[in-house]
Amino acid sequence: MASSTFLLRRLPLCAQTGRLSRPSYPAFTALQQGWSRTHIRPSASLYSTHAAADLDQTNKPYYITTPIFYVNAVPHIGHLHSAVLADTFKRFHEMKGRKAILSTGTDEHGLKIQQAAAQAGLKEIELCDKVSKRFQDLFDAANISYTTYIRTTEPRHAVAVKKIWDDLLERGYIYKGHHEGWYSVSDEAFYPSTHVEEKINEKTGEKYHIAIETGKEVEWTTEENYKFKLSAFTDRLTEWLDNNPEAILPKSRHLEVQSWLKSGLSDLSVSRPRSRLTWGIPIPGDDSHVMYVWMDALTNYLTVTGYPWKNMSDSQKAVCGWPADAQVVGKDILRFHAVYWPAFLMAADLAVPKKIVAHAHWTQGKMKMSKSIGNVVDPFTAMQEFGTDTIRFYLMNDGGLIDDADYSSELVAGRYKKLLAGQLGNLLNRSTSVALNPSNKVPKQPSADNVHPDDKVLHKKLEALPGLVDEAMANYRTTHATQAIFDMIAEANANFTHCEPWKLVKDPAGHDRLQTVLWYAMESTRLATLLLQPIMPTKTAEILDQLDIRKDERSWEHARLGQGWVKDAESRKILPGTPMFPQVKAKK
Ligand code: MSP
């Protein structure tokens, strides 16, 4: 605390943004003088995530973002994955008692959208309105608790984009140049020749070229445009990643970005001539150019926080959210988020995000889902068939950060049957069985000092579970969290069977033991359900209602062995319910 007060007094910084409130342009001057970047790092510490931690962040909300989605095609299950992942972490931090911001929205400019609108015979904005609404409907249907839904065609976003452009220009990081290269409309990116491969169309015999990284077609393009001095940031990006070895998750992606930096960075085209691209934000002061769509799109993460924070009081700035605590992205857009984006921020003297979480992809038939291949899974249909929480659970249980996962309805049905109905549902039914617990009361909590030998393994698992889940979530590994939870549930079910409570209920001498067996079953259900809340918000609320766990007993501090029904346990009523996970069948 002492150091943060000191920092705040000495430096006129926006408490959360890490931005110098007094303009100073040493970087610009130095570059003009031809200095190397290593000599012009007056506020380099600001770019490290540690600098942000040094500032007074007591009230800073946890800010997590999803990528903003292209509106050239309707959403598929892969898009939903990015959103559920971010929502799960937002809810987890709320459960821990922190205020949280979750932003999502749509990326509406660029050639890709311009071409898609022309193909659909619509004005660009008509296509954007239509598809953006579809994404928003999806996120509403999937219970994504976003706090801001941003569209890059909104006026507030144009203000933010103009400001960042002006700052970069003023600081000498943007210049006008000539550009020749391979451009992919699908990726909205230029590629150097070394990243491009020639192919031959088997049917027509015609030659074409693709980007090796994404497999998308590229075309040779020559044009005059504005360029960003990305090359000047190689050292600082390297330093940022070296000093913050967990800035990018998973580790393999962190190493991948470090290796890109080792091979050096070229300057980046950040505008397209209006003759080629009309659908975008005009370059401030030069209408003949339109902003490069990635520069426009990435800035959305600042727009959401109210950037350029002009009419905000210090206390408002302190809770604006920036820097983001976590930015969720698919592995295909890592370069844009882990190289270009932090470089833009450094150039504007803004703090970089604390973490970038790159997830793997969903495939179908082992191929990445894409409209052109025709193997996309409609998330609306999937949720109708299996229920929203089942799909959320399946995505978080099977879709990881490292390996791609192959989507299959049979597998969704399998997880539902085996884990949700067969394990969690079964344990709930056992916990709420009227035959075993006719009084519907919470059984007496057994002493933790004298655990029955049969319950020892389960007791240990229950004690360890919150820590395991916490660790998994700190590493953004939902698959590890669900694994730990279901491992405990399996033990709870196995122990229940082993203890044969249906025999104990018939034996007056077995009364005390029955109470203990029921208590462990109920406590295991309670704990598992509490920890599953961020992933399955609706089903877990229903289960907790059934167990008569009050709304103010559902937070992280209650996710501990023995922390349920703490007050007036005698007055609670456990409700025998209809099966929480009725039978479903996968449609063929
Ligand atoms: N508009 C850009 C992002 C700009 S962010 C400033 C974009 N849009 S996208 O619609 O193509 O992709 C959005 C997100 O969906 C990305 O995180 C991407 O990785 C994710 N997915 C797209 N297809 C996917 C799968 N098949 N599987 C999992 N996620 C995938 O890129």
Mutate to test the pocket of ligand 1, among 65, 79, 106 (most ligand atoms within 8 A of CB): 79
| Pairing state between β 217-228 and 207-211 | antiparallel
HSE, CB side, 13 Å, CA atoms: give it for residue 141: 20
- The pLDDT, as a whole number, for residue 576 is 84
Atom of ligand 1 nearest to the CA of 362: 27
- The pLDDT, as a whole number, for residue 309 is 97
Buried b (16+ CB within 10 A) or exposed e, 104-129: bbbbbbbbbbbebbeeeeeebeebbb
- Is the preceding peptide bond at 323 cis, omega within 30 degrees of 0? yes
169 CA distance to ligand 1 middle (Å): 29
554 CA distance to ligand 1 middle (Å): 33
- The pLDDT, as a whole number, for residue 251 is 98
Residue nearest to atom 15 of ligand 1 (CA): 79
Residue nearest to atom 5 of ligand 1 (CA): 67
| Each residue's pLDDT expressed in tens, for the chain with a length of 588 residues | 233 322 222 223 333 344 333 333 233 223 323 222 222 223 333 333 333 333 445 689 999 999 999 999 999 999 999 999 999 999 999 999 999 999 999 999 999 999 999 999 999 999 999 999 999 999 999 999 999 999 999 999 999 999 999 999 999 999 998 888 899 998 988 888 888 999 999 888 899 999 998 889 999 989 899 999 999 999 999 999 999 999 999 999 999 999 999 999 999 999 999 999 999 999 999 999 999 999 999 999 999 999 999 999 999 999 999 999 999 999 999 999 999 999 999 999 999 999 999 999 999 988 888 777 889 999 999 999 999 999 999 999 999 999 999 999 999 999 999 999 999 999 999 999 999 999 999 999 999 999 999 999 999 999 999 999 999 999 999 999 999 999 999 999 999 999 999 999 999 999 999 999 999 999 999 999 999 999 999 999 999 999 999 999 999 999 999 999 988 889 999 998 778 898 876 665
Tokens 């540690």 correspond to: 50
**Main-chain dihedrals φ then ψ at residue 266, nearest 5 degrees:** -100, 160
* H or E element that contains 130: helix 124-141
69 CA distance to ligand 1 middle (Å): 6
Residue nearest to atom 10 of ligand 1 (CA): 69
- The pLDDT, as a whole number, for residue 585 is 63
67 CA distance to ligand 1 middle (Å): 7
Q: Where are the beta strands (DSSP E) in 185-269?
A: 189-191, 196-200, 207-211, 217-228, 248-249, 268-269
Q: How many CB atoms lie within 10 A of CB 53?
A: 10
- The pLDDT, as a whole number, for residue 428 is 97
Atom of ligand 1 nearest to the CA of 298: 6
Ramachandran region, residue 86 (left: φ > 0; alpha: ψ -120 to 50; beta: rest): alpha
330 CA distance to ligand 1 middle (Å): 6
- Is the preceding peptide bond at 250 cis, omega within 30 degrees of 0? yes
- The pLDDT, as a whole number, for residue 203 is 86
Residue nearest to atom 8 of ligand 1 (CA): 69
Ligand 1 pocket by Cβ (under 6 Å): 67-70, 78-79, 81-82, 107, 297-298, 300, 329-330, 332-333, 361-362, 368-369
- The pLDDT, as a whole number, for residue 49 is 38
301 CA distance to ligand 1 middle (Å): 15
162 CA distance to ligand 1 middle (Å): 25
Give which of 152, 216, 156 is closest to 182, Cα–Cα.
216
Q: Is 583 exposed, middle or buried (0-12, 13-18, 19+ CB in 10 A)?
A: exposed
181 CA distance to ligand 1 middle (Å): 24
Extract the tokens encoding 362.
């969903």
pTM: 0.88
